[in-house]
Structure formats: C-alpha cells, structure tokens
Amino acid sequence: MRTYYRNIVTAFLLFTGFSSTAEDQNQCLKCHGNHIYSIHNEWTERTEKRLMNPYFVIDSVRMSAGVHQSFSCTDCHSTDYGTYPHNGELKLEPMAGCLDCHGGDEKYASYQFEKIEEEFGKSVHAQACGDAFTCSKCHDQHYYQVTARNSESVTGIVRYSNEMCLSCHDNMQKYQLLSEGQKPELVEAHSWLPNKNLHFEHVRCIECHTEVVDSLMISHNIMPKENAVKRCVECHTADSRLKASLYKYQNLQSRSENGMMGNILSNESYVIGAYRNPLLNWGSILIFCVVLLGVSVHIIFRIIKK
Amino acid sequence: MGTEGRIYLYPKWLRAWHGLNALGIIVLIFTGINMQYASPDFQLMRFDLAIRFHNIAGVLVAVSYLLFFIGNLVSSNGTFYQIKLKGLRNRLFLQIRYYAYGMFKKEECPFPVSEKRKFNPLQKYSYIAVMYVFVPLVIISGIALLFPELIITEVYGVSGVFLTALLHASVGFLISIFLIVHVYVASVGKSPFKNYRSIITGWHE
Ligand code: HEM
C-alpha cells in the first residue's frame, strides 16, 4: 500500500509540470464547488438542479491555500469519479493517509511524520477510537496549512489549531462518527478556568492537553483529561510552559526581535506573572529598600532623641 | 490646636471610605504581589484565588473611590485638596526640614493641625497625587484589564493589554510605597498611636 502511494508521489512530482491541475479540479468543482449542482438527466432529457450534500462541498479558495494545492482531485481520488453518477463501489475506495505518502521521505524529514505518528498512537483519540481516528480527522487533506511553523501571529496560530479540535468537539455529528458516548460540554469541562473565552483565544487546547515534547514542533499525544494542565502557575509564571510550546517557534522569535521590547510574550498577549523585566524588578526592589531604610533611620533617631 | 484641644477632623463618610479603601488596597497589594511573582515555588495563596480576591478588592476600591470623590465635591472636605502653587516649594521645604531635623530638636511643627488646615503641605500634596492621579490610574487600567476587549489591541507592535498591565503594576507599586510612608508618618506626633485613633474616631486630639 505504502509503496503504491509513494509511487504516486514520485509520479506527481515528475509530472506535475505537465498536468493542468486547475482544469482537472474544475471538472469536479463544477459540482463540488457549490451547494447546488446541475446534471443533464438523460431519462427525462432535462437539465435539473440538485442540492449537494454540504459535507461534500469543497472550498476551492481554502484548498488553493493548503499544502496540497497543486494536486488535482484525481491524484488522490479515483479517476472513475470522472463520470456521474459516481460508481457506487467508489464509496469503498481506501484513501491514502499522510504516512502513506510522507512516511520515510527525506524531503519531509523536518516534519518528523514517523515521530508524530508514534506520539499520536499514544493519544486518547487513537487509544479510544483505533484506526477510525485518522490524521485526516484533524488535518483535512484538502485544506491543511502549516501554520505554527510559518505564521507570525500567535492568535492566528491559536485560532487555526483550536478550530481543528472544535470542528469536532463542538459538532455533534462529527463527534458521533467516532464515539457512541455523549459529547462532553466544553463550557462545563472548563468552568474552573476564568476568562475562558480569552484563554481559548490565546492558548491552544494542546497547551493543556498534551505533554510538551522538546524534539517535536507540535506534541501529538493528547492525554486523558486527568493529566490535563489545571494549575494556573504552569503558565502564569516567569518560566511559563508556554515558552516551551507556543512561543518556541523560530518564526515568532524573529518577529519579536524586530518588535519594540524584544519580548515575544508582550507582542500579542499579556500573561499575568510571565513578564519579568530585570530593570523594573531590581529598580522596584531598590526603591522599596531605600524607603524601608529611610523609615528605619527615622525611627532610630526618634528613639534616641526622645 | 483647636479651641478645646479636640477637633472633629474626619466625618463618618470619610472614615468609612478610608476603612474600605485601606482594606481594599492592602488586599490588592498582597494578591497583586502573588500574581506578579507567581511561580510553582512561590505562592502566598492559590493563583486563582488571588485573581478572584484581586478582582473583588479592585471593585471595592473603585466604588469607595466614588464615595471619596463625590464626598470631596459636595462637602467642605474638598477644600483641603485645593492646590496653591505660590510659595509651595518653601512650604514643602519647611515641612521636610521639620521631619528630618526640627522634630528631633523639639521645634514647633511649622504647620500645626487646625480646623482650617487639616494637612501639612507634604501630606496635602502626597494625598492629592495619590487620590487624584495614582488611584484613578490604577482603577481605570484595572477596569481595562477586567474587560480587555476595551483596550487598543496593538501599539507599535506591542500588545495594548501588555502596556496597560505594565502601567497598572507600576502605579500599584508606587501606591504601595505611598502606603508604607503614609502609615509610618501617621505615627509621628505626640504619641505614636494618636493619629490611628483619630482616623477611627474622627477626633483629632
Ligand atoms: C493605600 C491606601 C491608603 C490611602 C490611599 C490613604 C489615604 C489617606 C488620605 C487621603 C487621608 C486623608 C483623609 C482626609 O482627611 O481627607 C488619610 C488619613 C489617614 N490615614 Fe490613610 N490611606 C491609606 C491607608 C491607610 C492605612 C492602611 C492606615 C493605617 C494603618 C492609614 C492611616 C491613616 C491615618 C492615621 C490618617 C489620619 C492622619 C492623617 O491625616 O495623615 N491609612 N489616608
């Protein structure tokens, strides 16, 4: 299986210059690009408009921003989709996963796909749902964008990452594809966290729900809820765990060098307790001591001169 | 001194304000230090409790500030807070000289308390600075931090919340310094506890 897809990748890289992706995509997008599509019904000999299943609508704008933008649909899907109605058998067509194409490929070594797969294998999702929980549940292959690595905006990274989780944890249908259980209410589960919305906009879910792995850009081991971070001071302190996760990226560091204060934490957020400026720190301690000294000397004189 | 040696200096509302304010500010300083220097090894109290008490005390101080502000507008107490620049430097100097030198030589204090003059110049101008500049600044920046969506998001590439927080913590620090000096200087007088009694009973003896 894997070698089969590896061949696709090689072929893709060789021939991508010749195939005209946009034209191929348009062939599918004339139906899958909209909520309404039209077909020519050969029985009634009329052109009819129909509703497209909203989950089968592909957003071509988002796709053209994703990592797989140069693919035609049939690089991943069977060319048999060229005919309509689609052959029923196609519904059972196995789809390639990330590792089928990227596994063991030097070109993508910096992403550490194997290590990610290993970490993901330990996560609650893989443990509870098994093979049904594919990488594509979080990374839509049509739209996936590498964000933390490239973006210069912390809030942008946070939003992108959290939407992955919320697309399922806030969506009953998608959740129930994987679990018989009731979807836990996130608002209730996090009621202990003050300013919940502010936190969800400024920290990623994975900050609290994964173990930080230094060798990985993004920890993929979502732990059981009992192990989630609940102690405020893990973040709200000078040695904040955010420095080892969200704020560790080079792209953010370089931006902060151009920023005014040279301090990444101050560019987009203010994390109580995490900002320590040595000048202000020592300055305030000095003033404090001088005042105490002044008061003490005054007291001594009052006692002596009584 | 007043005619019978006793002057009614601090009316009820002013004492109520002062009590609430002092309590609130002490809680704010304690919890504030606990937040600013939070770490797993240094915790005077749990972080989330510190946040909660800080918020409550902040609201308390803001509301009692309104009492002070309106009280000073409508009552005669406001007259003690009127700025008079002429000769100010000289008056401040006299008072400083008294605290640093004169009082040890058993000199008369240059600005004795009377019905017309509740504060000596140092007291007066430090109170004006604290009550009409510092405390309003912490209250406004504190309200902004409570509702961060009110704050400009970015100023020259630095988060507006961050700048607000910096202002908030710095002014908070200055108020703590004021508090130390204020509480100490209140012990200067005939007997060290006389003034503390006054701010509770209202009577200056
Ligand atoms: C940071 C919080 C505090 C502020 C902003 C503050 C401010 C003031 C002000 C403005 C007055 C003059 C009131 C008037 O007559 O119009 C005053 C008087 C007084 N305060 Fe405070 N105060 C604070 C905390 C305290 C605390 C904690 C104590 C005692 C433990 C205290 C003891 C006194 C005393 C004894 C007086 C009367 C003597 C005097 O006129 O200086 N204060 N305070």
User: How much is the ipTM here?
Assistant: 0.84
Q: Which residue has the higher pLDDT, A264 or A138?
A: A138
pLDDT at residue B92, rounded to an integer: 93
pLDDT at residue A260, rounded to an integer: 38
Percentage of residues in chain B having pLDDT higher than 90: 52
Percentage of residues in chain A having pLDDT higher than 70: 86
CA-closest candidate to residue A97, choices A209, A206, A222, A8: A8
Q: How far is CA B56 from CA A54, A236, A272, B17, B23, in A?
A: 48, 20, 17, 16, 12
Lowest pLDDT segment from A234-243, A261-270, B100-109: A261-270
Average pLDDT over residues B32-51: 86
Please compute, for residue A7, the number of CA atoms within 13 A of its CA located in the half-sphere on the CB side: 4
Lowest pLDDT segment from A76-80, A240-244, A299-303, B127-131: A240-244
Average pLDDT over residues A139-156: 88
Which architecture characterizes domain B2-204 according to CATH?
Answer: Up-down Bundle (1.20)
Average pLDDT over residues A77-92: 91
Mean pLDDT of chain B: 89
Q: Tokens 């008079």 correspond to what residue?
A: B84
Average pLDDT over residues B7-28: 94
The answer to whether residues A147 and A162 touch, using CB atoms and an 8 Å cutoff, is no
Evaluate if residue A258 carries a pLDDT over 50. no
- How far apart are the C-alpha atoms of B171 and A284, rounded to whole Å? 11
Inter-chain contact A232–B159, Cβ cutoff 8 Å?
no
Evaluate if residue B3 carries a pLDDT over 70. no
pLDDT at residue B21, rounded to an integer: 97
- How far apart are the C-alpha atoms of B91 and B86, rounded to whole Å? 9
pLDDT for A172-188, tens place per residue? 888 988 888 888 899 99
- Domain residues of chain A, as ranges? 1-93, 112-275, 279-306
pLDDT-based confidence at residue B158 (cuts at 50, 70, 90):
low
pLDDT at residue A80, rounded to an integer: 92
Evaluate if residue A128 carries a pLDDT over 70. yes
* C-alpha torsion sign, points A151, A156, A159, A163: negative
Evaluate if residue A79 carries a pLDDT over 70. yes
The CA B196 to ligand 1 mean position distance, Å, reads: 9
- Domain residues of chain B, as ranges? 2-204
Average pLDDT over residues B100-109: 86
SS3 A49: strand
List, in sequence order, every beta strand (DSSP E) within chain A: 36-41, 46-51
Partner-chain residue, chosen from A236, A266, A270, that has the shortest CB–CB distance to B47: A236
Residue B172 amino acid letter: G
Calculate how close chain A gets to B32, using CA atoms only, in Å.
10
Q: Which residue of B has its CA nearest to A194?
A: B48
Which residues on chain A are in Cβ contact (under 8 Å) with B166? 275
pLDDT at residue A262, rounded to an integer: 41
The strand pairing partners of A38, in sequence order, are: A49
Burial (CB count within 10 angstroms: exposed 0-12, middle 13-18, buried 19+), residue A77: middle
pLDDT-based confidence at residue B162 (cuts at 50, 70, 90):
confident
Lowest pLDDT segment from A25-39, A249-263, B20-34: A249-263
Q: Which atom of ligand 1 is nearest to the CA of B196?
A: 35
Average pLDDT over residues A200-213: 90
pLDDT at residue B15, rounded to an integer: 94
pLDDT for A2-49, tens place per residue? 555 555 555 555 444 444 567 777 889 999 999 999 998 888 989 999
- How far apart are the C-alpha atoms of B72 and A152, rounded to whole Å? 51
Q: Which residue has the higher pLDDT, B116 or A28?
A: A28
Ligand 1 pocket: which of B72, B199, B200 to mutate (most atoms within 8 A of CB): B199
Phi, psi of B170 (to 5 degrees): -65, -45
Give ∠ CA A115-A166-A270 in degrees, rounded to 5. 85
Q: Say how far residue B177 (Cα) sits from the centre of its chain.
A: 10
Which residues on chain B are in Cβ contact (under 8 Å) with A292? 180
Distant-in-sequence, close-in-space partners of B187: CB < 8 Å, separation ≥ 6 = B193, B195, B196
Helix axes B47-74, B12-36, angle to 10 degrees: 150
pLDDT at residue B113, rounded to an integer: 86
pLDDT-based confidence at residue B123 (cuts at 50, 70, 90):
very high
The answer to whether residues A273 and B38 touch, using CB atoms and an 8 Å cutoff, is yes
Q: Is B101 on the interface with A (CB under 8 A)?
A: no
**Ligand 1 atom 4: residue of nearest CA:** B22
Average pLDDT over residues B118-136: 94
- How far apart are the C-alpha atoms of A223 and A214, rounded to whole Å? 16
Which residues line the pocket of ligand 1, CB cutoff 6 A?
B 10, 14, 18, 21-22, 25, 77, 80, 118, 123, 127, 130-131, 175, 179, 182-183, 186, 195-196, 198-199
- How far apart are the C-alpha atoms of A197 and A158, rounded to whole Å? 12
pLDDT-based confidence at residue B110 (cuts at 50, 70, 90):
confident
Average pLDDT over residues A198-224: 89
Distant-in-sequence, close-in-space partners of B109: CB < 8 Å, separation ≥ 6 = B98, B102, B103, B120
A104: left (phi over 0), alpha (psi -120 to 50) or beta: left
Q: How far is CA B112 from CA A127, A239, B28, in A?
A: 80, 53, 33
Lowest pLDDT segment from A264-273, B8-17, B195-204: A264-273
The strand pairing partners of A222, in sequence order, are: A210
Average pLDDT over residues B163-178: 93
pLDDT at residue A14, rounded to an integer: 47
Which residues on chain B are in Cβ contact (under 8 Å) with A287? 173, 177
pLDDT-based confidence at residue A1 (cuts at 50, 70, 90):
very low
Evaluate if residue A254 carries a pLDDT over 70. no
pLDDT at residue A246, rounded to an integer: 75
- How far apart are the C-alpha atoms of B146 and B8, rounded to whole Å? 39
Mean pLDDT of chain A: 84
